[in-house]
Amino acid sequence: MTLQELAAAAALIGIAVLLAWPVPILLSRAAWPAFAPARALLLWQLIAVAGGLSMIGALWLVGLAVLPGHPVLAALPAAALAAYLLVHLAITVVQFERQRRRHLELLLLLSSPHPTQARTRVLDDAAPVAYCLPRGIGSVTVLSQGLLDDLDADELDAVIAHERAHVEQRHEVLLVAFKAWREALPWFPIAARAESEVAALVEMRADDSARRSTPDAVLARAILRVAGPTGPAEHASSRRSRHHDRFLRLGRRTP
């Protein structure tokens, strides 16, 4: 193996280590993603893709160093890792689609159409519940009766705008991809951190869409009514409260 190949292998290993530990930790602790969630989401995607490619490339170059005369055998570890990650992604996508179909079937049985809102179903549940079930142009917004009873008209409009933004911006694609990464590497704490950060950031992106037609104070009240004062546990970072960040940013216009 030449010095150039050794240097390339060392560089890829170094990049993989940086993207696997210090870079994600610094990003999850930073305050700026709350005020630029679109850029932060793009950065998380770049970290995930570049990290995976650097690990695969490093394995391939190390294999060439160990078996210089057998390029096919040398490539097997890298190919195995790539296949492992892709298979997990495919399995996660299939599982998501199956769960989505079953959820829709149950929803049609257990809910009724909203009298005035198109593509909206109402669950007979006293708890404040709001979410959107992605289904392309047939996506459905789901609200509970408890939420309808608890919210004012302007707060309800804010919630609906927020939930429909998730579908319009295809947030489920990002969430499924990062869920696949976490499930492929369950022993890897950064994968779980990345998933929780991405989940929090897509909520902020949906907030930004709702803010175009809703005053910030109204949206903040609606978030409190639906998510509560602490927010969903799965959206919390181990170092920052992204739910708290959501309220801080509502007092400042998005750039």
Strand-pair category, 120-123 with 111-113: antiparallel
Higher local confidence (pLDDT), 255 or 152:
152
Contact of 56 with 82, CB cutoff 8 Å: yes
At residue 237, the pLDDT reads 47
pLDDT confidence bin for 8, thresholds 50/70/90? confident
Poorest-pLDDT segment among 70-74, 127-131, 134-138, 190-194 = 134-138
With a cut of 50, say whether residue 171 has pLDDT above it.
yes
pLDDT digits (tens, 9 = 90+) for 234-253: 444 444 688 788 888 887 65
Higher local confidence (pLDDT), 47 or 250:
47
Contact of 183 with 163, CB cutoff 8 Å: no
At residue 229, the pLDDT reads 66
At residue 232, the pLDDT reads 61
With a cut of 70, say whether residue 164 has pLDDT above it.
yes
pLDDT digits (tens, 9 = 90+) for 94-148: 999 999 999 999 999 999 999 998 889 999 999 999 999 998 777 899 999 999 9
With a cut of 60, say whether residue 255 has pLDDT above it.
no
Query: What length is written for the chain?
Result: 255
At residue 253, the pLDDT reads 57
At residue 236, the pLDDT reads 47
At residue 160, the pLDDT reads 94
With a cut of 70, say whether residue 87 has pLDDT above it.
yes
Taking residue 138's Cβ as centre, other Cβ atoms within 10 Å add up to: 9
Q: Which residues neighbour 104 within 8 Å (Cβ) at sequence distance 6 or greater?
A: 133, 135, 140
